[in-house]
Copies of this chain bind each other. A is one copy, B any other.
Amino acid sequence: MRLLLISNSTNPGEPYLDYPKNEIKNFLGEAPVTALFIPYAAVTFSFDEYTSKVEERFSEIGHHVVGIHTAADPLKAIETASAIVVGGGNTWQLVRMMHDLELMPAIRRKVIAGIPYIGWSAGSNVACPSLRTTNDMPIVDPKGFDCMGLVPFQINPHYLDAHPEGHGGETREQRIEEFICANRNVYVVGLRESTILKYENGNLNLIGPRPARIFKSKHQPIELTSSDNFNFLME
């Protein structure tokens, strides 16, 4: 199985999907790949617009995407895909559409069989057992919280330490503490901006300049960097 699970598409002030593009390029390899793109997390702009935006960056690195929404038979498009790319946006809408179209088991089978999977933000969330560590507003009922479980732990994308000034609500860390209190056997990886989890050759590693913060019930959170081993999370 090969996974590239990216926290955020874009760093503030940078072009869309710019910082992770070289990792995507290396991950997909030298030979040009046309990946199947799942744009269903887009809410306020069209799936066509989303696919074009992603294609612009992919074509820069010698690869391409085609939107699943243009396929006559989405399940068949998955069956014949050489890579799957799931973009960010609103996790709830993404999961709802993936459930309605029954995409999750099909993608799971293909990825377990070996085709590369790339996700960012919501696209990293749906690689987890459920969407229960998303930050997004639940604008629609997803008709079930379960996701693909390509990894056995939960990712919190866009993990941030900053607490907006004057905000009287819980911090991100407090929210994850609630999660592990309600879900005692699940690890949560707080994946900070500009960082990526990569799984290949049976190894899980962190890429990027910031450590990841790992949470589990009854343990102090720990900070692991790109030189640490993350394989315990896959057990």
Contact = CB atoms under 8 A, between A and B. Distances in A.
Nearest to A7: B168
Interface in A147-167: 156-158, 160, 162-167
Interface in A83-101: 90, 93
Nearest to A178: B43
B137 A145 contact: no
A166 B176 contact: no
A135 interface: yes
A152 B194 CA distance: 40
A179 interface: yes
A163 B158 CA distance: 13
Contacts of A90: 175, 178
Contact-residue size bin, chain A (C-beta under 8 Å from the other chain): 35 or more
Contact of A137 (B7, B8, B158, B176): B176
A175 B35 CA distance: 28
A131 interface: yes
Interface string A118-160: 0001000000000111111111110001000000000011101
A9 interface: yes
Task: Describe A's contact surface by its main secondary structure.
Answer: loop
A182 B140 CA distance: 7
A183 B140 CA distance: 8
Nearest to A165: B162
B137 A168 contact: no
26 contacts: A7-B168, A11-B166, A12-B166, A43-B181, A43-B182, A44-B177, A44-B178, A90-B175, A93-B182, A121-B169, A132-B139, A132-B140, A135-B169, A137-B178, A138-B138, A139-B179, A139-B181, A157-B169, A158-B167, A158-B168, A160-B164, A162-B164, A162-B166, A163-B164, A164-B164, A167-B193
